[in-house]
Amino acid sequence: MQKQETLSKNQKIILDLIEKSDQPLKAYSILFDVKKKGINAPLQVYRALDKLVEIGKIHKIESRNAFIACKNSKCQIAKATVFSICESCEDVTEIHDHKLSEHLKDFKDNKGMKYNKYNLEFFGLCKKCV
Amino acid sequence: MQKQETLSKNQKIILDLIEKSDQPLKAYSILFDVKKKGINAPLQVYRALDKLVEIGKIHKIESRNAFIACKNSKCQIAKATVFSICESCEDVTEIHDHKLSEHLKDFKDNKGMKYNKYNLEFFGLCKKCV
DNA sequence: TTGTTAATTGTTATAATATAACATCATGTA
DNA sequence: TACATGATGTTATATTATAACAATTAACAA
């Protein structure tokens, strides 16, 4: 079997749900919501999430254990993610800043490490919560 | 009671352990190790970890749910952390790069968000694992 | 069209990570 | 003293994530 071009049934159900939300969803809240569609077990959710992260359709917000859809068509692989997170209302926004990306992409440490991925999370207060 | 200048007993025990390791430790592995010192419950560990993170003595590696000592004397508060993580051997190194810090410190999005903290994790293969 | 392989699904159980709730103790200070 | 605060200890539980196994499905080559 070749690399799938289309998503599987469970993957579609779960991606749909995440895309409808503009905020990150947690795995067990997703599970709760998709029970009516016949997805009954955590593992079914986590498997779909893993795949969706792998192909860049969603990203994991590591500090929150939550998953958000990627709205950037260019971002086909979850290689380089930047988020801002409001510590008061928990609003999360994906950031696409060319200059910042360039700096991060080109970053080299002094240990000869070869990077293929990074994740950056900014924390603070959004406009509403200041 | 004033803000503590010195660490409490449990905080010391747990900081000592983390400082002796050059790699991140997980909460329950810490718990296992400090049982001989009379710390018996997860909550005792998590409380100490929370405090140590708060005062900048240790950092949490969010993508790994693990805790590492901060070796940088300047880094008294866990406001700005950068790590490199080898996806093969899981080696973690804290990065202090002046130029990068400057870019991150000064970063402004276009939404008027006020940042007070960030966490950046680079993933790749270290020299040994390439 | 059959056999092979890999991806996906479904299921039960369990592991790993983290917090709630409550009681107690120690210490600094009004 | 008595009050507030921070730390501790304890039991129970919540939350997040994976192991292990069986069955099914889709793509492709012989």
* Parts of chain A with a pLDDT under 70: 1-5, 73-78
**Residue B38 CA to nucleotide D6 C1', Å?**
20
Q: Chain A partners of B120 at a C-beta cutoff of 8 Å?
A: 104, 118-121
Residue B48's domain is classified under what CATH number? 1.10.10.10
State the pLDDT at residue B77: 59
Going by C-alpha positions, the residue among B98, B113, B95 that lies closest to residue A128 is B113
Q: Cβ of B124 and A115 within 8 Å?
A: yes
Same domain assignment for residues A110 and A60: no
Are B120 and A119 in contact (CB < 8 Å)? yes
User: Are A64 and A23 within one domain?
Assistant: yes
The partner residue sitting opposite B126, judged by closest CB among A84, A113, A127, is A113
Long-range Cβ pairs for the range A2-7 (8 Å, 24+): A7/A51, A7/A52, A7/A57
Indicate whether B72 belongs to any domain.
yes
In chain A, which residues have their Cβ closer than 8 Å to the Cβ of B117? 122-124
Asked if B100 has any chain A CB less than 8 Å from its own CB, the reply is yes
Tell whether B3 is covered by a domain: no
Mean pLDDT of B4-16: 89
Instruction: Supply the pLDDT for residue A74.
Output: 56
In a domain, A18, yes or no: yes
Distance CA B111, CA A25 (A): 22
Q: Residue range B52-59: average pLDDT?
A: 92
Q: Which residue segment(s) compose the domain that A22 sits in? A: 9-69
Instruction: Look at residue B4 and tell me if it is in a domain.
Output: no
Would you say A120 and B119 are in contact if contact means Cβ atoms under 8 Å apart?
Answer: yes
pLDDT of B73 reads 61
Out of A86, A118, A122, name the one closest to residue B123 (CB). Answer: A118
B5 touches chain A (CB under 8 A): no
CA distance B81 to B97: 10
Query: Looking at the structure, do residues A87 and A122 belong to the same domain, yes or no?
Result: yes
Q: What is the pLDDT of residues B17-36, one digit of tens each?
A: 999 999 999 999 999 999 99
B42-54 helix and B9-20 helix, angle to the nearest 10 degrees: 80
Q: What is the pLDDT of residue B19?
A: 96
CB contact under 8 A, B113 and A86: yes
Q: Number of structural domains, chain B? A: 1
Per-chain mean pLDDT for chain B: 90
Q: How far is B37 from chain A (nearest CA, A)?
A: 30
Per-residue model confidence (pLDDT) at position B115: 92
Please indicate whether, in this complex, the C-beta atoms of A84 and B125 are within 8 angstroms of each other.
no
Q: What is the arithmetic mean of pLDDT over B110-117? A: 87
Question: Do the domain assignments include residue B22?
Answer: yes
Q: According to the model, what pLDDT value does residue B1 have?
A: 42
Whether B71 is covered by a domain: the verdict is yes
Locate tokens 């924390």: which residue? A123
Report DSSP state, residue B25.
B
